[in-house]
Amino acid sequence: MATKLYVGNLSYNTTEEQLRELFSEVGPVESVTLITDRHTGRSKGFGFIEMQSDEAAKAAIEKLNDTELEGRKLNVSVARPREERPAGARGYREGGYRPRRY
C-alpha cells in the first residue's frame, strides 16, 4: 500500500522532478505533488510524495529528514489526513454570517 509523505521547507525553486529523483534513490515513488499558490503559480515551499510501500516511506524519512536540498534542510514525515472544513466558513464564526456594522 502506498504511503504519503509530507516534505516541507523546500526552496521555491525546487521542482517535482528533483524531488522524484531524490526520493527514488530510497525506493519506488508513486507520485510527487508540489503545492503552489493558485493565483501566482509559485511554490508554497512544501509538497507530498507517495511512496509505493511503507518500508520505502520509513526509509525515506530516516534517510532524507534533515538533509539539505538547494541550501534548505528538508522536513520529511508521514502526511496527516487533510482536515475537512465547512464550505464558506472562511473567517466567519460558528453560527453563520455576521454582517459588518458601519
What are the structural domains of the chain?
A: 3-78 (3.30.70.330)
The DSSP letter of residue 18 is H
Per-residue pLDDT band at 102 (split at 50, 70, 90) = low
User: Would you state the pLDDT for residue 82?
Assistant: 80
All three cell numbers of 55: 518500508
The share of the chain scoring above pLDDT 90, in percent, equals 75
Interatomic CA distance for residues 1 and 15, integer angstroms: 25
User: Would you state the pLDDT for residue 88?
Assistant: 60
- CB 51, CB 5: distance < 8 Å: yes
Interatomic CA distance for residues 101 and 98, integer angstroms: 9
